[in-house]
Amino acid sequence: MGETVVLRSLLGDALRETRLQQHRTLREVSSAARVSLGYLSEVERGQKEASSELLASICRALGVRLSDVLRDVSEELAVHEPHPVPVPVLEVVPAPASVSAVLSAA
């Protein structure tokens, strides 16, 4: 899987899928959510990063809970997200006394 999955794309997919399952148009949902049709379209296509307030408004217009959408998106993201590679911790070695004395004198 060479391409990175972007959260905004998964959110947009989930919102579009919900809207289409309800047989509703972009115009209907954008009007109910009080957001421009063009902006809603960009959110659904993953081209715009919607604020939490805007996501909540779209979810209200769709009659779904934002927490349910986020949970579904989180589960989908987990399928695609690679496991993190541990970052090695560098060991801090104290400077020799002679270096410490020079630094504190400066």
Q: Residue 39 falls within a domain, yes or no? A: yes
CATH of the domain at 30: 1.10.260.40
Worst-scoring range by mean pLDDT, 80-84, 91-95, 99-103? Answer: 99-103
How many domains does the chain fold into? 1
Burial of residue 99 (CB within 10 Å: 0-12, 13-18, 19+) is exposed
Q: Residue 19 falls within a domain, yes or no? A: yes
Q: Residue 88 falls within a domain, yes or no? A: no
State the pTM of this model. 0.74
How far apart are alpha carbons 48 and 90 in whole angstroms? 39
Q: Residue 40 falls within a domain, yes or no? A: yes
Worst-scoring range by mean pLDDT, 29-33, 92-96, 100-104? Answer: 100-104
- Residue 38: which domain range? 7-80
Residue 66 neighbours by CB under 8 Å, 6+ apart: 52, 55, 56, 59
Nearest to 65 by CA among 16, 18, 17, 6: 18
